[in-house]
Copies of this chain bind each other. A is one copy, B any other.
Amino acid sequence: MNDQPSPRMPVAELQAFVTSIFMAAGLGEDDARTMAGSLVAADLRGTHSHGVIRLPFLVDRLLQGGANRQPDIRVVNEAPGTALLDGDRALGALTATRAMELAIEKAATQGIGFVTARNSDFIGTCAHYAMMALPRNMIGIAWTNGFPGMAPWGGRSNTIGNNPIAFAAPSLSHGPIVLDMALSVAAGGRIRLAAKNGEKIPNDWLVDSKGQPTDDPQALAAGGALLPLGYKGYGLAVFGEILCGVLTGSRILSEIPAWFKDTDSAIGNGHLHIAIDIARFVEPEAFKLRIDGMVSLLKATPLMPEVREILLPGERAWRTQQQQEKDGIPVPLPVAADLQALARRLGVKAPFSAFYSFL
């Protein structure tokens, strides 16, 4: 059974289900739809670790009081090209969506919008917000700080966030160019998965609690630390703390609790959203045509042995998205079972028994 592909659910149906769950957990309809959109968008691009699998944790944040069900997200400081929002402890995707919309609005008149947020929460994938700029012929950037899950360069404890950042730019015929990355060598999720499957990991992903390199993924749970992508990854993480945290008056480093564990606590992290209006620099269609040319030049690079193709950032995710929009999003049994249980708890009708009759 493990070898069979998971059944696929139409995107609209999954979106409607997740929306109804958020409404049952106390969100207004618009906010529920925004939250569902942020999770389904992650699944659509194949980032299932940040998709509907996170729904139970987010619902817990609403029900346990860590997040505010009726938040008043508002601008607390503003200049023509910039703003600082207070998220009022809303779920992060709500504040991040508002911030990105405001950045886009500002870019339309100022050329650039640079909007930050404080008093926020886990925002999901940064790519989702950066990509909001694309239909407006803008370049988007999103960056967030988060709970300390990585060691600084030279350290052996997790005392800094691996503060993900995303960039998105449009092309004419290649799909959007989208880079979405955390600043550790490997994501914590990949290491936990290797631990679960009893596999070894490369020696440069992790140090054990004594600061020694290890290929044993179990060392993470036993007090080990995730290594940064060299001193450069560490340096970017420091600027993630500065731009998303210090500049916004948010919590930083060890001040930030883990959103998926401390579901009754405010997270208080911050984030940053930038929109850049291409038309204020060059003609947007010429820009996109030139991006296509850049893609062709890069793909013409002679390949390393056993490499089939040079990929652009976000190219694989774009292919996945196109396929899933047509065929639906795969919902593996453990996820379906979790969501079915959550739906039962909240008195919402769940669609998963259509695939898994025993649920």
Write the residues of chain A forming the contact surface with B, with a CB cutoff of 8 angstroms. Answer: 77-82, 84, 106, 109-114, 116, 139, 151-157, 159-160, 167, 169, 177, 179, 181, 183, 185, 207, 210-212, 229-236, 238-239, 241-243, 245-249, 252-254, 276-278, 280-282, 286-287, 290-291, 294, 297-298, 300-305, 307, 309-313
Contact = CB atoms under 8 A, between A and B. Distances in A.
A280 B82 contact: yes
Q: Which of A78, A183, A282 has the most CB of B within 10 A?
A: A282
Given A167-B239, A179-B238, A235-B181, A248 B282 contact: yes
A160 B77 CA distance: 40
10 contacts: A77-B281, A80-B81, A80-B109, A81-B106, A157-B301, A169-B242, A179-B238, A231-B313, A249-B286, A252-B290
Q: Is the interface of A mostly helix, strand, loop or mixed?
A: mixed
A176 to B, nearest CB: 11
Given A82-B112, A154-B307, A155-B310, 17 more contacts: A82-B111, A82-B280, A114-B276, A139-B243, A152-B301, A155-B302, A157-B301, A167-B239, A169-B242, A177-B239, A179-B232, A179-B239, A181-B235, A229-B229, A238-B298, A245-B294, A253-B298
A118 to B, nearest CB: 9
A303 B157 CA distance: 8
Nearest to A278: B247
Contact of A248 (B167, B281, B300): B281
Contacts of A249: 281-282, 286
Contacts of A82: 110-112, 276-277, 280-281
Contact of A282 (B80, B247, B307): B247
Q: Which of A77, A155, A159, A246 has the most CB of B within 10 A?
A: A246
Nearest to A179: B235
Contacts of A313: 231, 234-235, 238-239
A248 B246 CA distance: 31
Contacts of A304: 151, 154-156, 207, 211
Contacts of A181: 232, 235
A114 B112 contact: yes
